[in-house]
Amino acid sequence: MTDVIEFHHAQGRTPGVLAFADTLRAAGHPVAVPDLYDGATFDSLQAGVDHAEQVGFDEIIARGVTAAEDLPPETVYIGFSLGVMPAQKLVQTRTGAKAALLIHSCVPTDHFGCPWPQDVPLQIHTMDGDEWGDVDIVHQLAETIDTAELFLYPGDRHLFTDSSLPDYDQSAAALLTQRVLDFLDRVG
């Protein structure tokens, strides 16, 4: 049993995001899924990104940090796309992170002014042809963080894990989910 906090992507806390958390819960992991958008969801990725820009990325990150305050430091941080920003910030700046999963995207570690913690395991998942997925940065993180595992999936869909969105790819999402569950068992 591993405490997990899961940060949603730019389209909001969709039914697919909640379903992913339910899968982790069914495996015995307590999962918090904070709503960084105060209930708003969006029909397209671009509309969600526009909303995030309006709110401000620093504010989105701050909301994520606040949401994690009552969780133990030994938490696993999961970020989906936009959600990687608060997940990475917390792993890199909050002492004690157990592990991180960055799904669909990531940001350079220097964005938060400090290196990746030396012994914190990391998994990165994205599609190899995803224009939104920051594939160059994904490769850079995987090559520079000793504890990183990189999983590339064939295709160009961005939010392929979200069962409530058109980008959903059932086979890739199933493989990712199994890898995530195995990872949580290992770090737990």
Q: Where are the domains of the chain?
A: 4-187
What pTM value is reported for the model? 0.95
Taking CA atoms, 150 is separated from 58, 61, 94, 104, 164, in Å, by 27, 24, 23, 11, 25
> CB–CB of 103/84 below 8 Å?
yes
4-187: which CATH topology? Rossmann fold (3.40.50)
pLDDT per residue of the chain (188 residues) written in tens, 0 to 9? 899 999 999 999 999 999 999 999 999 999 999 999 999 999 999 999 999 999 999 999 999 999 999 999 899 999 999 999 999 999 999 999 999 999 999 999 889 999 999 899 999 999 999 888 778 888 888 889 999 999 999 999 999 999 999 999 999 999 999 999 999 999 98
Distance CA 31, CA 62 (A): 19
How remote is the C-alpha of 132 from its chain's centroid? Answer: 14
